[in-house]
Amino acid sequence: MDGERQSVGRARLDVIVGERLDGADGALVVKLPEERVRGLVDAGEGDPMTIRDRTMREWVRIPPDGDWQPLVVEAHAFRAV
């Protein structure tokens, strides 16, 4: 997966492991549709991702003990749309 990571400033980024992003603390951070992010947050499965006091609508932080695999697949599929 390292070869697919890009900096936060690039539009094609879809999955980050927390060591690469300040404030993620080892969590998985994924880009998903806004309504899916709301669902994960409402279900207590993730937290909104905030960067510089701005909550990112399409980004969610999944704790290190969360179920990452399906979300990584989902994030890659969302990116392909």
The closest of 55, 62, 57, 25 to 40, measured between CA atoms, is 62
Say if strands 28-31 and 47-51 run parallel, antiparallel, or are unpaired: unpaired
The total number of residues shown for the chain amounts to 81
Number of domains in the chain: 1
One digit per residue, pLDDT tens: the chain, 81 residues? 444 444 444 444 556 655 455 555 778 888 899 999 999 999 999 999 888 899 999 999 898 888 888 998 898 888 776
How far separated are the first and last CA of the chain, in Å rounded? Answer: 20
CA atoms within 13 A of residue 1's CA, in its CB half-sphere: 11
Quickly list H helices, the chain.
34-42, 68-80
Domain extent at residue 54 = 2-80
